[in-house]
Chain A
Amino acid sequence: MFLVVTVQSCRPAIPFYPGIPQEDQGQAQALRDRVSHLYPRSFGAVHRGILEAGGKNYVFDGYLLVNGPDSFRLTVKADMGGTVFELVKSPGRETVVTKNSLGLRRAWLEQGAARDVAVLYLRQPDPKAQLVRHASGSWGLVQESTDGTWEEFVFDADGSHVQSYVRSREGRVLYRADFVYGSFPRWPRPTPKNINIADYLLKYTLKINVLEMAEVDSPGKGQQP
């Protein structure tokens, strides 16, 4: 969910196999509901992340506060303190980098880290997303995001959990996030506890261990994204 240490643009080599379109509005709606009800409207989460880029590993702690579908604040710190960077997104506005102590490229933070937060916690399937089914039995909701780029929410065979989020173009996977579910004392439904992200364009992987997640009533002063 965070920074990109190296940028190496090259044609990703991971093929993407599309599912077979299905016509089942009821199933499509049920899958959309799975995503929309996955997290509380406002919540805080604590993460432990391992970034691998350029053959090296970097460990960070991420603190996230989400307030609604289009608003968040992310603070990323080094192991024992010291803010690495901070992002703030307010409703209807672009993500702002409010702190950047290592001088990381703003584009990486705004488009990379902010994109990761959106994918993991905010992004929703469009009401017009196409329902598909894969050979493995898993379901998917597919939609076109930008010119030629497709994104898919992949669900397990019984449609009970979002397994993955995949972005692809011209039959190649550009980015994917895979979820392993767990439970938290202060949120009644299972949510992703381990998240593995692979960005094949920017050549990094990110393993996230969600340590804690809890609903907040409404962020107080100083917490507002």
Chain B
Amino acid sequence: MKIPTYFRLMIMILYLMGCLLGARTAAGQDRFAKGPASTQLSHDELERFLKRIEGNFSTIRSLWTEFLQEKHLEIFTEVVKAKGRCIFQSPDRIRFEFTEPFKSVLIVKDGKVSKYEFLEGKWQKLETGQQQIILMVLDHITSWIRGRFAEKKDVYEIAVEKGDNTRIILSPKNEKFREHIRSIELVLTKEEKGLKQIIIREPGGDYTLITFINEKRNIDIPAAVFDGSGPEPRPSDLSG
């Protein structure tokens, strides 16, 4: 089966989006559900903004943050919720995991992907069929963590909207890609120094809302957090 590269790329971009930037926020609210409705920047304002954001984000060496995920699906009247955490260590180590209602861990370190799923009472290490795609996506993720959004202008139309919270809106340029993902919205904190939320919108109305909480920035993260060599993932909470 041939999976279009652009779509595989975006699946993994979306999968790892939660680890982009640290954030502090109140509990996630759905006021962003209907999409942006505020003042857009001009081209020159956009260029200046992106440069400023890159400067704001350039101090990030490590991130440890929890997140709340909400899936708003047309098929259900109720929101499907999950919790997890995301950990980043410059320049290219990432751990993205779900903790409730299921446990799943994805680790990228030294160019290698490790994926775990907790099923029937035990961890299972998976041979993921998407290794190369994940690594390809890492380049995008690293750019965004450093605030280098302009580097991906060949993939996305980039717009910024000012409002209560500034939003960076990425719209895929590729038509086929847009059939799957309509847009990705990065909602910044009020200080524009971190990410508050990510909204992934699909054609047809489904969207995923990720809200970041309990951010810790530039802390020492144990190397074991990114250890994907064992049959089980090492703990990633900071209580120990």
Contact B1 A82 (CB under 8 A): no
- Interface contact tally, CB-CB below 8 A: 111
Given A82-B11, A82-B181, A102-B7, A56:B73 Cβ within 8 A? no
Contact B119 A81 (CB under 8 A): no
With a cutoff of 8 Å between Cβ atoms, the chain A residues found around residue B126 in the complex are 50, 57, 59
Q: CA–CA, A59 to B104, complex, Å? A: 10
Nearest residue in B to A59 (C-beta to C-beta)?
B117
Q: CA–CA, A56 to B69, complex, Å? A: 27
Given A63-B75, A65-B76, A207-B119, A79:B180 Cβ within 8 A? no
Nearest residue in B to A193 (C-beta to C-beta)?
B120
Given A50-B117, A50-B126, A180-B120, A82:B102 Cβ within 8 A? no
**Residues 54-86 of chain A, each 1 if its beta carbon lies under 8 Å from chain B, else 0:** 111111000101000000010100111111000
Q: Residue A80 contacts which of B15, B119, B124 (CB distance < 8 angstroms)? A: B15
Nearest residue in A to B121 (C-beta to C-beta)?
A194
Q: CA–CA, A65 to B127, complex, Å? A: 30
Q: CA–CA, A39 to B12, complex, Å? A: 35
Contact A57 B76 (CB under 8 A): no
- A14 contacts chain B at the CB level, 8 A cutoff: no
Contact A81 B208 (CB under 8 A): yes
**Residues 74-107 of chain B, each 1 if its beta carbon lies under 8 Å from chain A, else 0:** 1111101000000000000000000001101000
Q: CA–CA, A209 to B77, complex, Å? A: 22
Query: Which chain A residues (99-144) contact chain B, with CB distance < 8 Å?
Result: 101-105
How many of chain A's residues have a CB under 8 angstroms from any CB in B? 38
Given A57-B128, A57-B129, A207-B119, A81:B202 Cβ within 8 A? yes
Contact B179 A80 (CB under 8 A): no
Q: Residue A104 contacts which of B1, B14, B15 (CB distance < 8 angstroms)? A: B1
With a cutoff of 8 Å between Cβ atoms, the chain A residues found around residue B10 in the complex are 82
- A34 contacts chain B at the CB level, 8 A cutoff: no
Q: Residue B102 contacts which of A102, A211, A216 (CB distance < 8 angstroms)? A: A211
With a cutoff of 8 Å between Cβ atoms, the chain A residues found around residue B181 in the complex are 81-82
Distance between A43 CB and nearest chain B CB, rounded to angstroms: 11
**Residues 160-174 of chain B, each 1 if its beta carbon lies under 8 Å from chain A, else 0:** 000000000000000
Q: CA–CA, A59 to B105, complex, Å? A: 12
- A35 contacts chain B at the CB level, 8 A cutoff: no
Contact A81 B102 (CB under 8 A): no
Q: CA–CA, A56 to B181, complex, Å? A: 25
Q: CA–CA, A6 to B3, complex, Å? A: 13
- B17 contacts chain A at the CB level, 8 A cutoff: yes
**Residues 196-240 of chain B, each 1 if its beta carbon lies under 8 Å from chain A, else 0:** 000010101011101000000000000000000000000000000
Contact A194 B119 (CB under 8 A): yes
Distance between A224 CB and nearest chain B CB, rounded to angstroms: 10
Distance between B198 CB and nearest chain A CB, rounded to angstroms: 9
Known: A82-B10, A82-B200, A207-B120. 7 other contacts (CB 8 A): A5-B1, A5-B129, A46-B80, A59-B126, A81-B206, A214-B78, A222-B74
Q: Which residues of A contact B (CB under 8 A)?
A: 5-6, 44, 46, 48, 50, 54-59, 63, 65, 73, 75, 78-83, 101-105, 180, 194, 207, 209, 211-212, 214, 216, 220, 222-223
- Identify the 7 closest CB pairs spanning chains A and B, nearest first: A56-B129, A57-B126, A81-B208, A80-B14, A78-B11, A81-B200, A80-B15
Q: Which residues of B contact A (CB under 8 A)?
A: 1-4, 7, 10-11, 14-15, 17-18, 69, 71, 73-78, 80, 101-102, 104, 115, 117, 119-120, 124, 126-130, 179-181, 200, 202, 204, 206-208, 210
